[in-house]
Amino acid sequence: MAVLQALRTEGTGAGAVLREWELRLVERAGQTGSAAEANGLLVHRAVVLPEWVDYNGHAHESRLLQVFGDATDALLAAIGIDAEYLEAGSSYYTVETHLSLLREALVGQRLRVTTQLLGSDEKRLHVFHSLYRVDDGELLATAEQMLVHVDSRAGRAVPAPAELRARVADLTARHSAIPAPDGVGRRIVLGDVPQRPRC
């Protein structure tokens, strides 16, 4: 798999096929409305597959992070990030994630992720995902993320174009009318941890 990922980066051989397939998935996500809104929030759905389950008998955190990544892709499709946009050399990159695992996700369980855009500016998106079990509505996990708009060819953060910023601002305004979910801004602390000087 690592070889395929490397070939994808170079756009050669099987890697080129993989890249084309991934771009088609991005395009299809935008066309199928996988980010349909429910109560104003964007929604993504998934099912816990057998290969997701680890030695503890529940979905491994990396697989839940994958579901959150797919929900982020659905958000990006909803604001107009499509295959053409990516091919032109721009995208949003996730630069920080705070993952909270609250309950187990077991094989075969249907999942629903709601996505709320908490804030945005010319370069950044502040996103909060909540993952629920469909059958009983139990909250299983959350992911709070910061995304940065980049020029992927130059490898640096750049402001999003005006038309994209307008769509982002519209969605941010709509989502600001929804109460922020519990857990926003949570940090990991064990007792009284002294602040360490930064180098």
Count other Cβ atoms within 10 Å, centred on residue 86.
Answer: 17
Residue 29's pLDDT is: 43
pTM above 0.85, yes or no: no
Q: Which residues pair with 119 in a beta bridge?
A: 126
What is residue 37's predicted lDDT score, i.e. its pLDDT?
67
* pLDDT value at residue 19: 55
**Residue 28: what pLDDT?**
47
Are 136 and 110 in contact, with CB atoms under 8 Å apart? Answer: no
For position 33, what pLDDT does the model report? 40
Task: Sort 114 into a burial class: Cβ within 10 Å, 0-12 / 13-18 / 19+.
Answer: buried
Q: Any bridge partners for residue 116, and if so which?
A: 128
- Positions in the chain short of pLDDT 50: 4, 21, 25-33
pLDDT at 197: 73
